[in-house]
Amino acid sequence: MTNSIYSTITGTGSYIPEKRIKNEDFLTNEFFDTSGTKLQKTGREIIDKFREITTIEERRIADDDLVTSDIAFLAAEDALTSSGIDKEELDYIILAHNFGDVTKSHGRMDIVPSLAARVKCKLKIENPETIAYDLPFGCPGWLQAVIQADYFIKSGDASRILVIGADILSRVSDPHDRDSMLYADGAGAVVLEARKSKTPVGILAHKTRSDTLRHSEMLFMGESYHQTKITRNELYLKMHGRKLYQYALENVPRAIQSCLQKSGTDLKSISKILIHQANGKMDDAILDRLYDLYPGTAMPKNIMPMTVSWLGNSSVASIPTLFDLIIKGRLDPHHIKKGDTILFASVGAGMNINAAVYKV
């Protein structure tokens, strides 16, 4: 048997903001519906219902003086330290995000130069052959960047790639929209390296799908629901929550099944399922639907680690942050050991879905 080239994760990192925003901090918010009509329910009724349908109790928010490229840099630095490689040997830096550097004082996207270029500069990398670029792909952006990195490595074009996911969603969320309670800030990163092996290791297979014809406007940018209160002319992140929930339940399990089939892996062989931390109840329902596709396969206890209840939805940062916490032994009782096969999966704006099977 000859050696093949595989993409393996040799370092992980994350940046979790210290500032906690609890559900109770939204008690005094005035919430409105899509027509601009103020909701008649009390603040307590709204936040209690929110927790019931999402499991979220608190989320993390970046300090006012930080922007997305700053927290991306901190996660990248952590991952590079973890990997022990020379940063000058990186072939690519791929940074997944959705809103660029949005400052606290305004909501406008700033992506010139690219955030990846800014992170490369902050890392003080001199090598001009370290190519840095951004990837906007909705919440599945970090995993899609990993998929691109895998293509680069397996083609022989690259040996070491830094992949980062970072977003500050708190600055693009409408304070008068109940969905604003979903969103959080954070950054996560991994270092991928080429490894020759006679037996499969690292990324075994991946699948991506984009349903744009019917579902491209499931998440979108729109005006505040309370125009008389919001004076600045800005756009905020909006979504059709119920339709998105149904779309995810109908399509994510089958996309995961397709990826497992492509890799030749049975669901019984999966040690952990790391899914985008969007909504706790939705992720639980996706998991149930996935196991329904495999009659006779029992769902193991603790198969799906979750952080959304205390970190909220940090978009592209949620999976790499979750992975980093487990790898570094900071999310008991969850552990990943050598020889485990894990599954990554994500769904988000596009609508896009992706999945990857990874053997440690």
CATH no. for residue 348? 3.40.47.10
Closest of 34, 24, 25 to residue 226, by C-alpha: 34
Q: What is the pLDDT of residue 233?
A: 65
* Domain co-membership, 278 together with 193: no
Closest of 43, 9, 14 to residue 28, by C-alpha: 43
By three-state DSSP, how is residue 351 classified? Answer: coil
* Domain co-membership, 166 together with 246: no
* Domain co-membership, 60 together with 79: yes
Task: Judge contact between 357 and 259, C-beta under 8 A.
Answer: yes
Structural domains counted in the chain = 2
Which of 162, 197, 232 corresponds to the end of one domain? 197
Domain residues for the domain of 29 are 4-197
* Domain co-membership, 150 together with 240: no
| Cβ density class 171-208: b for 16+ within 10 Å, e for less | bbbbbbbbbbbbbbbbbbbbbbbbbeeeebbbbbbbbb
Predicted confidence pLDDT, tens digits, the chain (360 residues): 789 999 999 999 999 999 999 999 999 999 999 999 999 999 999 999 999 999 999 999 999 999 999 999 999 999 999 999 999 999 999 999 999 999 988 778 899 999 999 999 999 999 999 999 999 999 999 999 999 999 999 999 999 999 999 999 999 999 999 999 999 999 999 999 999 999 999 999 999 999 999 999 999 999 999 977 665 668 899 999 999 999 999 999 999 999 999 999 999 999 999 999 999 999 999 999 999 999 999 999 999 999 999 999 999 999 999 999 999 999 999 999 999 999 999 999 999 999 999 999
* Domain co-membership, 184 together with 259: no
* Domain co-membership, 330 together with 245: yes
Q: What is the pLDDT of residue 51?
A: 97
Task: Judge contact between 310 and 330, C-beta under 8 A.
Answer: no
Task: Fill in the DSSP letter of residue 105.
Answer: S
Q: What is the pLDDT of residue 180?
A: 95
Q: What is the pLDDT of residue 109?
A: 87
* Domain co-membership, 288 together with 150: no
Q: What is the pLDDT of residue 301?
A: 94
Which of 142, 168, 197 corresponds to the end of one domain? 197
pTM: 0.95
Q: What is the pLDDT of residue 106?
A: 78
